[in-house]
Amino acid sequence: MKIQESIFNLASKHQKLLEFSVIFLLFLGISFEFSGSDVTWAWSNYPFIAVIIILLAIILMLLWIKVERNKMEVFKLSLKENSNNYDKRDLLSRRQQQVYDLIIANKSNKEICEELFIEMSTLKTHINNLYKILEVKNRKELKKEYKNQ
């Protein structure tokens, strides 16, 4: 297990070299010789060498794929960690923030409309957008989630 880990770590550090090696070995395995008008496969006298070269390229390619998958997993984890570090309320518009503050202050829809000088339909649109952004379903859940923050 220790040897596998050290190979994996080495491959991770030198991933570009690994990519180049795979491409080089694949081309080497299918290389041709040109002499005059004759074109022959370079390994026609020793086909087992070509098979070994192609197998080595495949092994290195599988290692490269494993390194890429590991990098993607690490990236996904960092995204999850970072996505939890911001406050969703920062995504609210100025007007949605005003509506949010009044909801948290236990104002009714009618009181909010009077204070902000807006129609009830406009208020309901702001509230629905606010719920979507903050990922809550109703006023009770909104207060429960954000009252203490």
For residue 120, is pLDDT > 80? yes
Name which residue leads in pLDDT, 145 or 102: 102
Q: Tell me, what's the pLDDT at 149?
A: 60
SS3 state of residue 28: helix
The reported pLDDT for the residue numbered 53 is 94
Annotated domain spans of the chain: 2-83, 88-146
- Reported as a single tens digit per residue, the pLDDT across 44-62 is 899 999 999 999 999 999 9
Q: What CATH class has 88-146?
A: mainly alpha
Cβ proximity of 18 and 67 under 8 Å: yes
- Residue 32 φ/ψ, nearest 5 degrees: -125, 155
**Cα distance between residue 52 and residue 30, in whole Å:** 12
d(CA 117, CA 85): 35
3-state helix, strand, coil in the chain (%, to 5): 75, 5, 20
Q: What is the mean pLDDT of residues 79-84?
A: 72
Question: Which residues have a Cβ under 8 Å from the Cβ of 107 and sit 6 or more positions away?
Answer: 115
CA R_g for the chain: 31
What's the rounded mean pLDDT across residues 27-52? 89
Task: Tell me which of 9 and 131 has the higher pLDDT.
Answer: 131
The pLDDT, as a whole number, for residue 117 is: 94
